[in-house]
Structures are given as C-alpha cells and as structure tokens.
Amino acid sequence: MNLQRRISGVLMPLSSLFGSPLCGDLGKSAYRFADFLQRSGQQFWQMLPVNPIDDCFSPYASISTFAADPLYISLDALFDEGLLEKADLESIPLGPISRTAYNAAREIRTSRLRKAVKKFRETSGTKYHNASETFLKENTWVEQHAVFCSLVDFFGTPDWTKWTDTALRNADESALREFSAAHQEEIDFHTVLQLFFEVQWKELQQYCRDKGIMFIGDVPIYVSHNSVDTWRHRHLFQLDETGKMRRVAGVPGDSFNPDGQRWDAPLYDWEVHRESGYSWWLERIGKALQRFDAVRLDHFIGFYNYFSMPPERAEDDKGYWVPGPADEFFDTVLKTFPDAQLIAEDLGVMNTGVHQLRDKYNFPGINVFQFYFDFRRDTDATAEWKENSLVCTGTHDTDTLSAWFDEVLADRKKAEPFWNFEYLFGMIKEYVPEDAPLNRQTILWGIIRKVMSSPGNIAVFPMQDLLGLPTEARMNFPGHASGNWLWRLDESLLTPELEQRLKSWTAEFGRNTYNNTSGG
C-alpha cells in the first residue's frame, strides 16, 4: 500500500453500518458496504476507533486501547458456526433506521454472546477454536483486559480508584490470582469475545483487501482514566499515589472551539515512557497496524507539545504547553515499524515545530475544506494543499457539509458587506456540470468534486457528505457530552446513481488506479 499516489475513500464508522440489529457490526452489511466501495471506485475505508465505547458512546475514551467493543461482533457469523440458534437472531428488533441504539444493543447482544461463548466452551472445530491458540499467543494484553472487565462487573464501576478492595485496586498479583480463580468463567467470557472479534475482523479485512480496499484506522492519543491501561500501568501516567490524575489533557481555545476543551484524560509521564523504550506505545501502535493498513495519529500536535491542565478548573491555572517526545518517539516507532503508513492529524493549534516534525518523517497531514474556506479571501485555498496530505470535506468532529452550507447561507445574510460570497461559486463553478441547475445539491457536489480535484493524494469523504445529509447526521460535536456518535446509515440511500456518480468523479480526477494488495 502506498499513500503517495492519488486515491480516494469514504469515512464510515463501523457502528453506523446498516442491516444489523440496533448497531452496525462485522456482519453481512459490512461486506455489502465493501462491495459498494469497490463498485464506486474507492480504495480506502476510513473508520473511527473500534475500541470499547464509554457511557457517552465515544470510542475515544475507552476502557482499553487494545481491545475491541463486543458490540461489533456479528451474531449472524456466530450462528453460521453453530454457536447460536436461529431463534436467537429472529427475536432481535432492528431498531431505528438512522440512529444507533447502543444501550439496547448492549443488553440484547450480551445475552446472545453469553450463549455463544458457552457453546464455544462445550464444542470444538469452529474457526474460532482453530484461531484460539494463535490469538492468545499474539495478544498478551487480552488477559489483563478480561480481568479488568470482570472487576468492573464485580465492583460496578470502571473507575478503579473507587474499588473497595485495596489489593485489587492496586493490582496486587496475589489478590489478582485469587480473584481470577474465583471468577475464571467470567474472565474466559471476556477473552472469547475478543477472539470472536479478531477472527471476524480479519475475515472482513481480507475480503476488502481482495477488492483493493484498505482500512484507515485511528489511534487516539490519550486513554481514559477509567481503563485497564491506567490501572495496570499507572506509572506511565501523571497520577498520584491513589491513582487520581495530577494533570489532565485538553486544548486551549481556537477558532474551532473558542472555549477550548477539557478531555479529563490523564497525561503521560513521557520520561518513564522514554526509559522503557516506549514499549507500551510500540505494542499499541503494533496492534493498530495489524488492524489497519494506515493509521491516523489523533491530535498529532500532542507528540510535539501537549497542553497540561489542572484536574479541577482553576482561575489561576488555565493550563500550559509542555514539550512532548517528538523526534525520539517517532525514531523509535519507525525503527520498529519501518513500513508503517502513518497520517498526522495536524489540526488545532499548530506551530512551526509541529509541521517540521510532520515533514521530517514525511507523514501526510490533513486538510479540511470547512476549515480552509474563508470568504474574506479571493484565492483558491485548496490549490495550496500539499500533495502529501489527506484532503476531505469534513471529519467526524465537524458538521455535515450540507449543514455547513446552511451556516454559510446564514452568515451571508448577516455579513454580506464584509464577506465575498461569490468566492464559493467562483471556486466550484467549473465543477458543476454546465447543464445542471445551480442549486443546493449541485453546489454540494461541486464542493466534493473540488476537493477531489485538489493536489492532496488521499481524498476521503464522510458518507454523510456524499449523501448531502443535514446536521442530524453529524457524528460528534466536540465539547458536548451527549447526543453524539449516533448516526446510522439508511442502506436505501446507497443507490446505483450514487455509485456511478462517485465512480465517475474518482476517475475524472485520477484517483481510480486499482492496486490489488491481497495478502499484504
């Protein structure tokens, strides 16, 4: 796989897939979406992290940086291996068409997964049995994850600082052995769930590779405080002797979010990481590179310098910047993974040092049309984008392109004397067919084609933008704790007309070079 050639793809979260009850998963709908991508001439499927989601449904605040969420396990695939009965599938409601019902999915699917794991223990010869030994050997993290999940169930909270048993809270080995002996069945349950996901994921990945479709994944820079990572590796984080956070991660205000953001995630003790040769990070990135063909490094700026905030809001301490591991970190990563395809999410408060770090390792940066568009100028911002970059209309953190355009129209009414609104039409005029009326739909298509035409080698479009969906389809609103990560695709919108349109645009702008990378 080569990120230095003109290619295009679609951003489509696994949870947003259609067809499966209540929540997208690795079942038949994932394969149908891969078929859609191939018929549309796309070569990249970008996803959000597949780690376990938190109570707000965010995959960026997970209880584990290594594990996957069992929600994504296909029950149909378990039925095909004889681990579930037909009745187990027929009694599940489909749920709303355009919304993911996480809580209902968790409750209903967990009961089926328990049946499947019980059947797995009682039988042999399935593809999951055949993969078990290799899986356990290659994923040593899974034991700690399974024990942590069992402890969360036992104590009723993932906040390990509130566990009432001091020895278990402090991960005392003797206490853990005693707990594990008494709860082995539950620990095995969580272990087998990760096995189920791993086998199903690899099958989908190979199916996509055979069709010339690669996966772009995501490594969130920070981890949740309520995680197995902080519980078992607290020395790697800025925590006090009780496990509470000394400082937390966040960002100061910028044009995207004037009030800034507090992520309430623990900061790393980078000196300890350095002394260990960044071993935890190497394991983490290694796992991501197994799952994905290219990896987006979330909040890339944090590797150059990170914003340190007090655990509680304080008028006399708004936070400050601290140098990150920078060159030494990436020298170590690329020495271990010389062929790693890494993308720098270089958005936010940038400075020269961040760009120099990105360019030193030839990482593609990211250019977002919504961020670059500026009515106060009359030159084409997209023409300034570098070839070595990922270009897009928006991200999972922006509003949909259609909703952004609504805001543009509103701004025009408010500030017409000051803003050059004709700039937009001048930019996209040649990308709207001559015989097409200049209306909302053709303008949105023109913007997409404009981004397609730009110099950036990798063009990725949120599925919502390709469909022209309104703000109700927005995936995430940063800084808002509720109402996020819920959008789900209505499969009826994947029409032959959309396929042909996307395929035509991809070919028109030289992004349709097929490269079958099956097997590697």
Is 298 among the catalytic positions?
yes
- The answer to whether 219 touches 284, Cβ cutoff 8 Å, is yes
Smallest CA-to-CA distance from 179 within 146, 135, 219, 140 is with: 146
d(CA 269, CA 90): 50
Question: One of 186, 283, 298, 411 is an active-site residue; which one?
Answer: 298
pLDDT in tens, 21-68: 899 999 999 999 999 999 999 999 999 999 999 999 999 999 999 999
The residue among 221 and 261 whose pLDDT is bigger is 221
Query: CB atoms < 10 A from the CB of 469, how many?
Result: 21
Beta bridge partners of 295: 217, 342
pTM confidence score:
0.93
Among candidate residues 276, 332, 297, 283, the one with its CA nearest the CA of residue 141 = 283
Phi, psi of 446 (to 5 degrees): -65, -40
State how far Cα 339 lies from the chain centre. Answer: 21
Q: How confident is the model at residue 95 (pLDDT cuts 50, 70, 90)?
A: confident
Q: In what order do the strands lie in the sheet with 305-309?
A: 261-266, 248-251, 305-309, 320-323
Tokens of 192: 């087998």
What proportion of the chain, given as a percentage, has pLDDT over 70? 91
The predicted-structure confidence for 345-403, as pLDDT tens digits, reads as follows: 998 777 899 999 999 999 999 999 988 765 555 667 788 899 999 999 999 999 999 99
The catalytic residue among 345, 346, 399, 499 is: 345
Which tens digit of pLDDT belongs to each residue from 397-421? 999 999 998 887 776 555 554 445 5
Q: Which ranges of 123-164 does DSSP label H, i.e. alpha helix?
A: 127-138, 141-155
Q: What is the pLDDT of residue 418?
A: 43
Backbone angles phi, psi at 253, to 5 degrees: -65, 150
What pLDDT is attached to residue 264?
86
* Residue written as token pair 């500026």: 374
Given a contact cutoff of 8 angstroms between Cβ atoms, the answer to whether 321 and 306 are in contact is yes
Helix (H) or strand (E) holding 342: strand 342-344
Q: Is 399 one of the annotated active-site residues of the chain? A: no
Q: Where are the alpha helices (DSSP H) in 337-421?
A: 352-360, 369-372, 401-415
For all residues of the chain together, what is the average pLDDT?
A: 91
What confidence score (pLDDT) does residue 426 get?
Answer: 67
In tens, the pLDDT along 292-332 reads 999 999 999 999 999 999 998 888 888 999 999 999 999 99
Task: Give the ranges where 416-462 is alpha helix by DSSP (H).
Answer: 422-428, 440-453
254 in catalytic set: no
Whole-angstrom Cα distance, residue 61 to residue 264?
A: 10
Handedness of CA 16, 17, 21, 27 (dihedral sign): negative
pLDDT in tens, 432-475: 766 777 777 888 998 999 999 999 999 999 999 999 999 999 99
Q: Output DSSP code: residue 381.
A: G
- Give the C-alpha separation, 392 to 311, whole Å: 35
Contacts (Cβ under 8 Å, ≥6 apart) of 488: 15, 16, 17, 18, 24, 96, 97, 98, 99, 100
User: Any residues with CB less than 8 A from the CB of 235 and at least 6 apart, and which?
Assistant: 269, 272
